[in-house]
Amino acid sequence: MNVDLVSQEKKIFFETYKRSPLIPVRGDGVYLFDENDNKFLDLVGGLGVNALGHAHPGIIKAVTDQINRFSHLSNAFINIPQVFLAEKILAATPGMEKVFFTNSGTESIEGALKLVRRWAKKNDRSDIYGFSKGFHGRTLGALSLTYKDKYREGFEPFMPEVKHLQFDSIKDLAQINEKTAAVFIEFVLGEGGIRPISCEFADELDRLHRKYKFLLVADEIQSGIGRTGQFFAYQWYTLKPDIVVCAKPIGGGLPLGAILGTEEINSLLQIGDHGTTFGGNPVACAAGLVVMDWLFEHDGIEHVKKTGKLLSEALKHLHDLFPDKIKSVRTFGLMAAIELSGDSSPYPAKAIEEGMIINATDSTVIRLLPPLIITETHIQEMTDKFKRILK
């Protein structure tokens, strides 16, 4: 069956994805299985989406219950799971007062860019800053903020008011002034290799934010929803964003994103100024409620803090064992990067042979975004598998 699927895939799809040789047919917790029931430890979790792993019983139940009522309503109606989920998200995000649900990360960024443009016109501001190594999505507005040439080439022109500063460079922050409309930032670079901003940089950005009162937009699409051991990564710092965007794990595997803002941000929009057909789908929101329940009613956040520490120790141990192959390791909660001395591209296929799923995000970087439910036993299994691969 697989041979057919591989050739069919090549024939019928736009060739935008490098597909894994593994074709999963089912999942269970932190594992995916192929048609021969071979088991794979999933350390990528659908690119940081499957917060509670695969086929989580709570998600299955919530989704089934909801789909038995209705699977879609449109935003012309109040949608009960949407209301409950928005309440939970706001309760976990002091300072934020309003929610707008989207379907994806890039769509959350687009909405935030529209809000920034409105605000900039009202307040006579112009410049929007992103950072080197930043990734914010691939639709045209979001791509204006995304840094890598590889993603941008041939898609110009981008939003003319968007410029990039060096990530984590206090010196570059001096370009921020009274003309600045907004700064979009990943507090921990995801695609850019799991690099958090330094406290000194955060303090300077905080000072400039208070001084010039531009809009600070936290891109929490990868780092948010408990992954770093706080609900949002920015909560490790003293900075207070005006807008927070999230997506990936918030729907527990179903497509869902959100834009959070203050009352002032909400006042920029009138009825009909922004909208989406699918955003805040009730089935996705029902799944999202299970994620929130796990994080806050079942000590999920504490679990991430604990397992994040174990993951960090395990990767440091591998670094000690293979100093010639591993240059450095970086972790922030359950986000991890292994910086190799050589080419990272052969490693995902080698890992598949060992029964493990990993992801190469840069020429020398392996990134891990395991489901948040990962345990010590899985981390030990990961260590053993990496030992075999690196040998």
Ligand X SMILES: Cc1ncc(COP(=O)(O)O)c(C=O)c1O
Interface contacts to ligand X, rule CB under 6 A: 104-106, 109, 135-137, 186, 190-191, 219, 221-222, 247
Report the b/e string of 248-265 with b at 16+ CB within 10 A: bbbbbbbbbbbbbbbeeb
Which of residues 19 and 61 has its CB atom nearest to ligand X in the complex?
19
Which of residues 191 and 381 has its CB atom nearest to ligand X in the complex?
191
Read off φ and ψ for residue 195, nearest 5 degrees: -125, 115
The least distance separating ligand X from the CB of residue 103, rounded to whole angstroms, comes to 8
Which of residues 85 and 326 has its CB atom nearest to ligand X in the complex?
85
The least distance separating ligand X from the CB of residue 169, rounded to whole angstroms, comes to 19
Q: Which residue has the tokens 């406290």?
A: 199
The least distance separating ligand X from the CB of residue 217, rounded to whole angstroms, comes to 11
Measure the CA angle with vertex 82, ends 141 and 234; round to 5°: 55
Per residue, the 3-state secondary structure of 93-138, as one string, reads CCCCCEEEEECCHHHHHHHHHHHHHHHHHHHCCCEEEEECCCCCCC
Residue 127, Cβ neighbours under 10 Å: how many?
17
Which of residues 42 and 191 has its CB atom nearest to ligand X in the complex?
191
Which of residues 31 and 135 has its CB atom nearest to ligand X in the complex?
135
Cross-strand partners of 89: none
Cross-strand partners of 180: 127
The least distance separating ligand X from the CB of residue 247, rounded to whole angstroms, comes to 5
Which of residues 125 and 136 has its CB atom nearest to ligand X in the complex?
136
The least distance separating ligand X from the CB of residue 287, rounded to whole angstroms, comes to 16
Tell which residue, 235, 297, 233, 203, has the closest CA to residue 94: 235
Cis amide linkage into residue 196, ω under 30° from 0: no
The least distance separating ligand X from the CB of residue 391, rounded to whole angstroms, comes to 31
Which of residues 189 and 314 has its CB atom nearest to ligand X in the complex?
189
Rounded to an integer, what distance in angstroms lies between the CA atom of residue 232 and that of residue 56?
Answer: 23
Rounded to an integer, what distance in angstroms lies between the CA atom of residue 277 and that of residue 68?
Answer: 20
Residue nearest ligand X (C-beta atom): 105
The least distance separating ligand X from the CB of residue 189, rounded to whole angstroms, comes to 8
